[in-house]
Amino acid sequence: MARKTTDKPLASSAPSRLQAELARRILRLLKDQGSGPGYHLIEQELCQQFGVSRTPIRGALKLLADQGAVQPRANRGFVLVEPVKNVPEADALRLQDEEDKRLFVAIAQARNIGRLPDECTQQEIMRQLGVKLTTIVRVLRQLSELGLVERKPGNGWSFQASINSARAQAESYAFRRVVEPALLLQPGFELDRNWLIATRARHMEFRHKPWRDVEAIEFYEINSDFHEQLARSSKNRYMLNAVQQQIQLRRFLNYQWDYGVERVYESIDEHMAILAALEAGKNEKASALMLSHLTTSAHHSLPFDDDTRAA
């Protein structure tokens, strides 16, 4: 007998909130750059610019193609049709975004305390968290695009295992303290100056925002983009792959921030110091600052003594 399906299939025609927001941000970028007809949109560059994977970027570009703003070209991705004059207002998206962020945080908290199992249905999330089904569908779609959940054949969803044990977190920080300071010393290391300017501005803008729990999502994305881009600058594919795997592993846990707003500001200041050293060509100093940054982060994150923390 066929197994009964309790989750409604996701509509393929409706863009997710993430895709719609990325599409708007791409248009804003093109407008600010003054890009003209025929401008080639490169997926990898957009991934770096917005700190997301290829899947949501492709969805956003397809949405823009459906709207006639860009055109697909065989083996060339997408090109701009005409200069961008107007960017859609984001008021409605902002309201929906707040609702989605709250559910992101609620799911992260529920996962980390064991309230939500590794496999569950949309209806179970709705019962546990008291959220509308439409919001759950949007957020699960976003989590799927980020590689954090997978749709089970026929019924329900399966969460990617998060590092929700102290031992796993200790091992992650120990691994990162070996890899990330070393990638700044690679002979082929080359910092992307445009990214440096953009991420410095993004960090400082965030530092002056009033802190709320839902801001943990944006802070983590800024943080992960910082570490991933430095890994990419190393020109070492294996180091980049290791950092990307750690980012995926840590992503869901860090949507719940329990370390206080002062640690947010300290992290931003530490990032800025690392960037300043790299900008000045002082990579050995930057490497030492990265080691200090990760050690301090581990100290705030891990609730056990130094001997265990160093394991």
* Residue 58 placed within a domain: yes
Residue 4 falls inside a structural domain: no
To which residue do tokens 């690679």 refer? Answer: 186
User: For residue 129, what are the CA distances in angstroms to 43, 133, 160?
Assistant: 36, 11, 19
Q: Are residues 155 and 102 in the same domain?
A: yes
pTM: 0.57
Instruction: Return the number of other C-beta atoms located less than 10 Å from residue 157's C-beta.
Output: 21
Residue 242 lies in a domain: yes
Judge if 95 and 123 occupy the same domain. yes
Of the pLDDT bands very low, low, confident and very high (cuts 50, 70, 90), residue 47 is confident
CA-to-CA distance for 64 and 146, rounded, in angstroms? Answer: 20
- Model pLDDT for residues 112-160, shown as the tens digit of each residue: 778 888 899 999 999 999 988 888 988 888 788 666 788 888 779 998 7
Report the pLDDT value the prediction gives residue 14, as an integer from 0 to 100: 53
pLDDT class of 164 with cuts at 50, 70, 90: low
Domain count, the chain: 3
For residues 280 and 175, membership in a common domain is answered with yes
In this predicted model, which residue has the larger pLDDT, 274 or 72?
274
CATH code at 36?
A: 1.10.10.10
11 within some domain: no
**C-alpha torsion angle, residues 128, 132, 138, 139 (rounded to 10):** -30
CATH number where 268 lies:
1.20.120.530
What are the CA-CA distances from residue 197 to residues 201, 272, 300 (Å)? 6, 11, 28
What is the domain extent for residue 99? 91-159
pLDDT of residue 283: 97
pLDDT at 28 over 80: yes
